[in-house]
Chains A and B, each alone.
Chain A
Amino acid sequence: MRLYVLVLISNFPTSDSQPDTQEIYEKPRSKRRRSSSAVGRIGRSRSASPSRVATLRATDLLTTCISVISSVISEDCRYQISSIRPSRPPNALQAVTMSLAEFLVHVYKHEPRVLSMLGFAVLPAFKTFKPAMHIRLIAFFESILGWILDHLRQLRGTTTPPNPESAAGKNTHIYRRVHS
């Protein structure tokens, strides 16, 4: 099922399709084929019917994709790869999932609802990922939060307040300007 969705994603049109999109989706597909032959069989059989792909709308695909990401993060990412090799580090699945999520954030950075859905999809990662991945998770949420706060600022009409640290460090207005 997951491989099937990944194939669909690689085919549905996006306005900002990147040349490396295929590579990102190829990578997990190839890794998962080695690890799970049963799922691979399904993927191979499904890929022979492109007519079904064309009937699905992009938004449904996106929602499905986000739900798959959510499912992978909450369930599969609890585990690490047991037979570690240089090409397959212990948190390979987690890293690939995060890369996919980051890519979707980049593509849909101007759509608040999608950002919110992506955020909620990745949120369980703080429980399921190992602590070593927490920094990457926070970095991911820093980027998503940046876009969210940007949209919020536009919708609410707030102006960015002056940075309090710079004001405290300069110490100019606390007691009026001294020897300006």
Chain B
Amino acid sequence: MNTRDGDAKRDWQTLALVVLTLILCIFVANIHLEVRGEVADIDIGMRFFHSAIVSFMLTTGLLFMFTLAFAHRQARITEQALGMFLTTVVAVLVYGWAIDAGMLLPGVVGDVWSQFSTTVLRLLVAECAGLLALGICFGLLLALVSGRRHADDPLLELSSEDFSAADGDDSAE
């Protein structure tokens, strides 16, 4: 890696560009291969909205539980716990309001629980897919990276048992 100033930022910008390009390619592939209106019928905007709100709600709830689990006498966590709890409640209220306003997932029963449970189940599947993808890519990468053999350090072969020159220095002191 180049250690000149500013190169780390440029490297990460390049990596971000690679990721965005790949996402764009997948989007274009989906739209280009649409034949019978599958893309228009799915309403990706509503899927995105429901997934975003529910994942926000679940993540803040999870962080609230973690805050409670790690609380101890010396920690000042009142603001943190209260903040995450209130954020979760606000997310729940916003979601309920959105459902009542008619922002529903297509093809799912219109009550709040059905909309919420369907979104949670889809998010669970997506998270499992994410964990699988991460495991396959980085598991294989780690196994390959660790296979490189290095030459032994030449310093390890030097003997450190001959003290004749060192004894002479001690007698001088």
Query: Is chain B found bound to chain A in the same assembly?
Result: no
Question: Which B residues fall within an 8 A CB radius of A?
Answer: none
A-side interface residues toward B, CB under 8 Å? none
